[in-house]
């Protein structure tokens, strides 16, 4: 927890300093024609090119693995590298989850349609190396095991909430599961499927959870929400971070995707 707080403190300090002198400490620029990216907790970077090649870089920016079989399952919709030993790829059009090992070799695939899961917008790694999915058709959060069986599921959320969510993002952190819907806000569940928190944080891009701190980008603002204290803070992003495709924080780096290139700044 102290490490998570340190990372966020460094990030806020860097943003405040950048507001004062209009600069950020640029560490490196990597890639060309990048469509999307993510990182893992070891500092590795995963780049998805516009021609659907997935490349893994080490923290120094050197290529260590490539996955060229991306098109086999259609258009890649999501990359989840929260577990560096098991990277999840989600192909929404074919309702297929592909699990890769750390060398980007295929470990297994899960066809969600065989589980009668036809309306799944996003997925997330679960605490037991499974997959969290939200079934919009039944309005249930479900945990799917590696063998393609459903292990746990909530009740119908339409009976618990005024309006069922349609989450854009799912993540499992600190024994809680976060469902973020940019139009309806945030829902936080425990592992038993109970709703622990409902927070009206809407319109966010780049939703991310580090420890118990939640943040996202809203226009030119960085918004930071502390789950324990229920405090919301806002900071203006420096001009250099405006008009970016995506912003992401990991370890001691700030990653910014802009015009097909990944800009990495030091914290």
Q: What is the DSSP string of 103-134?
A: TS-EEEEEEGGGGT------EEE-TTS-EEEE
Q: Could you tell me if 153 and 143 are in contact, meaning their C-beta atoms sit under 8 angstroms apart? A: yes
Per DSSP, what are the bridge partners of residue 261?
A: 258
Sequence-distant (≥ 6) Cβ neighbours of residue 20 within 8 angstroms: none
Of the candidates 136, 65, 139, 74, the residue with the CA atom closest to the CA atom of residue 111: 74
Q: Which residues fall within 8 angstroms of residue 163, CB to CB, at 6 or more apart?
A: 184
Percent of the chain surpassing pLDDT 70: 91
Q: What's the CATH code, domain 2-234+241-266?
A: 2.120.10.30
Q: What share of the chain is helix, strand, coil (3-state, %, to 5)?
A: 15, 45, 40
**For residues 106 and 111, what is the distance between their CA atoms, to the nearest angstrom?**
14
Report the pLDDT value the prediction gives residue 74, as an integer from 0 to 100: 85
Q: Is the dihedral of CA 61, 22, 14, 207 positive or negative?
A: negative
Q: What is the pLDDT of residue 210?
A: 87
In this predicted model, what pLDDT tens digit does every residue of 184-223 receive, in sequence order?
999 999 998 899 999 999 999 999 998 888 989 999 998 9
- The pLDDT assigned to 71 comes to 72
pLDDT computed for residue 16 by the predictor: 56
Q: Phi/psi class of residue 148: alpha, beta or left (left: φ > 0; alpha: ψ in -120 to 50)?
A: left
pTM of the model: 0.90
Mean per-residue pLDDT, 62-82: 89
pLDDT in tens, 120-135: 999 999 999 999 999 9
Task: Delimit the domains of the chain by residue range.
Answer: 2-234+241-266
For residue 232, give both structure tokens. Answer: 């919301």
Mean per-residue pLDDT, 166-182: 95
Query: How many Å apart are CA 116 and CA 123, to the nearest integer?
Result: 15
Q: With 0-12 CB in 10 A as exposed, 13-18 as middle and 19+ as buried, what is 94?
A: middle
DSSP state, 163?
S
């Amino acid at each position: 927890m102290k490490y998570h707080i340190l990372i966020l403190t460094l990030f806020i300090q860097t943003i405040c300093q950048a507001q004062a002198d209009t600069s950020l400490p640029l560490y490196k620029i990597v890639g060309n024609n990048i469509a999307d990216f993510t990182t893992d907790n070891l500092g590795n970077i995963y780049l998805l090119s516009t021609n659907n090649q997935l490349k893994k870089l080490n923290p120094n920016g050197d290529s260590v693995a490539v996955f060229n079989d991306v098109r086999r399952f259609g258009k890649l919709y999501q990359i989840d590298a929260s577990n560096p030993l098991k990277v999840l790829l989600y192909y929404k059009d074919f309702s297929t989850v592909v699990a890769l090992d750390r060398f980007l070799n295929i470990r297994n695939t899960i066809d969600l349609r065989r589980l009668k899961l036809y309306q799944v917008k996003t997925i997330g790694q679960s605490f037991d190396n499974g997959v969290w999915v939200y079934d919009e058709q039944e309005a249930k959060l479900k945990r799917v095991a590696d063998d393609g069986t459903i292990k746990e599921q909530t009740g119908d959320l339409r009976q618990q909430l005024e309006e069922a969510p349609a989450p854009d993002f799912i993540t499992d952190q600190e024994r809680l599961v976060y469902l973020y819907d940019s139009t309806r806000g945030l829902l936080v569940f425990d592992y038993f499927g109970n709703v622990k928190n409902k927070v009206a944080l809407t319109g966010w891009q780049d939703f991310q959870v580090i420890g118990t701190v939640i943040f996202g980008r809203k226009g030119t603002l960085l918004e930071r929400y502390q789950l324990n204290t229920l405090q919301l803070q806002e900071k203006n992003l420096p001009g250099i971070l405006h008009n970016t495709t995506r912003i992401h924080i990991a370890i001691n780096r700030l990653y910014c995707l802009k015009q097909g290139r990944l800009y990495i700044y030091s914290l």
